[in-house]
Amino acid sequence: MTLADLPLNKPAKISALPKDVVIAAQLIEQGFTLRSHVSLAHKAPFNGPMAFRLHNTKICIQRSVAKQIGVSL
């Protein structure tokens, strides 16, 4: 399962980051690290960005990047 597939407000744990080193480094700087708890806060319509609750903040990322992040429930 990926972050893009996560149901609204369902808690999950990050289990895999993108294989692209540059994207993975940017995500780590934002707090998307392995074993971090995350949940989906908002989905923009028309395949727009997605907002996630992570470390008591909301962080918005592109849907294409969210499809590359693996999670486990």
The size of the chain, in residues, is 73
Identify the segments of the chain with pLDDT beneath 50.
none
- The amino acid present at 46, given as its one-letter code, is F
pLDDT score of 12: 95
pLDDT score of 64: 93
pLDDT score of 54: 92
pTM of the model: 0.88
C-alpha to C-alpha distance for 46 and 39, rounded to whole angstroms: 20
DSSP lists the bridge partners of residue 60 as 51
C-alpha to C-alpha distance for 72 and 34, rounded to whole angstroms: 11
Q: Which CATH number fits domain 3-72: 3.30.70.890, 3.40.190.10, 1.10.8.350, 2.30.30.90?
A: 2.30.30.90
pLDDT score of 33: 92
- 50: three-class secondary structure by DSSP: strand
C-alpha to C-alpha distance for 12 and 2, rounded to whole angstroms: 10
